[in-house]
Amino acid sequence: MWAFLQNLSFWDWLAVGTLLLILEVFGAGGYLLWIGMAAAAVGVLTFLLPGMSWEVQFLLFGLFSIATALYWWRRQRSAVRQSDEPNLNLRGQELIGRTFVVHEAIVDGRGKIKVADGVWMARGPDAAPGSRVRVTGQQGAILLVEPTE
């Protein structure tokens, strides 16, 4: 083992880097990409400075791995932006405040309203079919409505 460590060459680092990059292809989510890049960087430095001891090589690999992981982490955090449409894909939330037609009468607080090409269950005051109601909230898949004036 000591003989292997003392004779570590740039080929070993490039092989480790390549192996990590191949493993990244199988879906590691970006983690192995940066560690593989760190191993490749140590391989390049070992090629340029062939007399580097194995301790320094491992120290550089650790430092490069931490540096590239921090770079990736900061880049991911800066990529998160607030949406100009926070209710996108929250269909019930998108409907609050809009007015729709009662599809099936709301009786005893339950009925259905027509929303675009679909029908949603609704809860609110009694209303006849064809009357207009405004969505005021949502409880799961049920829209809370009130009559419009």
Q: Walk me through the domains of the chain, giving residue ranges and CATH numbers.
A: 2-79 (no CATH), 91-147 (2.40.50.140)
Q: What pLDDT, on the 0 to 100 scale, is given for residue 77?
A: 80
For the chain, which ranges sit under pLDDT 50?
Answer: none
Q: What pLDDT, on the 0 to 100 scale, is given for residue 111?
A: 95
Quickly count: other Cβ atoms within 10 Å of residue 136's Cβ. 12
Burial class from Cβ neighbours inside 10 Å (0-12, 13-18, 19+) for residue 147 reads middle
Q: CA quadruple 108, 114, 120, 124: dihedral positive or negative? A: negative
Whether the CB-CB separation of 65 and 38 falls below 8 Å is answered with yes
Q: What pLDDT, on the 0 to 100 scale, is given for residue 113?
A: 95
Q: What pLDDT, on the 0 to 100 scale, is given for residue 3?
A: 67
Q: What pLDDT, on the 0 to 100 scale, is given for residue 136?
A: 94
